[in-house]
Amino acid sequence: MHSDPVGQNGGVELTAKQRADWDRSGWLVARDAFTEAEFTAIDVASREVESWGDERGLAHFEQTRLGAVIARSEDFEPHHGFLRSLLRSSIITDTVDALFGEPGVLFKEKINYKHAGGGGFAPHQDVTAYPQISTCISVMIPLDPADTTNGCLWFTTRTPGTTIQNVRGAIPESWCSEQEWVPVEVSPGDIVFFDGLAPHRSDTNRSQRSRRAMYVTYNPRSGGDFRNAYYEDKRRRLAEASVGESGNVLISVNDDFLGQPVDASASGDITA
């Protein structure tokens, strides 16, 4: 399906509160940023990417109590014209540029599906998974309503200006327990912007409802364009090891995903 480009009318007009949220906590939520028709086109495109499985781009799978399911698709920008234009739409890029204070460039893109039973993520800062860059902003586009029962994101109310000591990306409990964490419940149409240093985590999806979300990450253009280098490096690393020291399946350079490796001996097809 081919849809008209969406989100071409400029960036989010940030309120004073959103600016203050950004400065203090490193994240902000723009509610109802996409119209229903725009969101429907994004949803259709995301389902197309999911249906590819591992035929195009890069896909990751996990074992859940309901069987083996797709956990993440990434590197789909070269293969989907509508999403390529979404990733360059002004509602996203003008906002990111304003938050950087300079133009950004696409670093990577992914969809985390978190279907029923899908794994959560240990507390981490995204920038620690991206060795090519030192600063970034990620844009989360919810594809399903996300709440505390199906594994929404949780952020801290204050963000450190630097990376926190971590174990293969995961921030230790001693730091986390000192923080105030807030669940960020979102609906389709909303957009969450967050800094690469903003600590965040999410729970395993213990509901029967999927909690799909697209994440698009940008770095300041002055720092260089590393998208191809990132995916080359990531494919090489994941070919070397598919399970982390934690015993969980590796879908990142970091070992912060809590999903389980696919059990090849379990019966049933992978659901893409």
Ligand X SMILES: O=C(O)CCC(=O)C(=O)O
> Taking the complex as a whole, how short is the minimal distance between the CB of residue 215 and ligand X, in angstroms?
6
Contact criterion met (CB below 8 Å) for 106 and 218: yes
Among positions 76-135, residues that touch ligand X (CB under 6 A) are 112, 114, 121, 126
C-beta separation of 219 from 107 below 8 A: yes
Does residue 50 belong to the site contacting ligand X (CB under 6 A)? no
User: Containing H/E element for 181?
Assistant: strand 181-184
Q: Between 151 and 244, whose beta carbon lies closer to ligand X?
A: 151
Binding flag, residue 151, ligand X (CB under 6 A): yes
Report the nearest approach of ligand X to the CB of residue 200 (Å).
Answer: 5
For ligand X, give the closer residue by CB, 49 or 213: 213
Closest CB to ligand X among 95 and 202? 202
The nearest distance, CB 202 to ligand X, in angstroms, is 3
The answer to whether the CB of 115 falls within 8 A of the CB of 93 is no
- 32-50: buried (b, 16+ CB within 10 Å) or exposed (e) per residue? ebbeeebbebbbebbebbb
CB of 153 to ligand X, least distance (A): 6
Nearer to ligand X by C-beta: 94 or 205?
205
Contacts of 124 (CB under 8 A, 6+ apart): 166, 169, 170, 171, 199, 200, 201, 254, 256
If one asks whether residue 258 binds ligand X (CB under 6 A), the answer comes out as no
Measure the CA–CA gap between 222 and 96, rounded to whole angstroms. Answer: 14
The yes or no reply on residue 202 touching ligand X (CB under 6 A) is yes
Q: Are the beta carbons of 229 and 132 closer than 8 angstroms?
A: yes
Measured from each CB, the residue nearest to ligand X is 202
Choose which of 80, 200, 227, 234 interacts with ligand X (CB under 6 A): 200
The distance of closest approach from Cβ of residue 41 to ligand X in the complex, given in angstroms and rounded to an integer, is 22
Residue 185 near residue 146 (C-beta atoms within 8 A): yes
Question: Which is nearer to ligand X, 114 or 227 (by Cβ)?
Answer: 114
* 188 in contact with ligand X (CB under 6 A): no
Return the number of the residue (93 or 125) whose C-beta is nearest ligand X: 125
| Cα 201–Cα 183–Cα 211 angle in degrees, nearest 5 | 70
Residue positions counted in the chain = 272
Q: Which residues bind ligand X (CB under 6 A)?
A: 112, 114, 121, 126, 151, 153, 200, 202, 213, 215
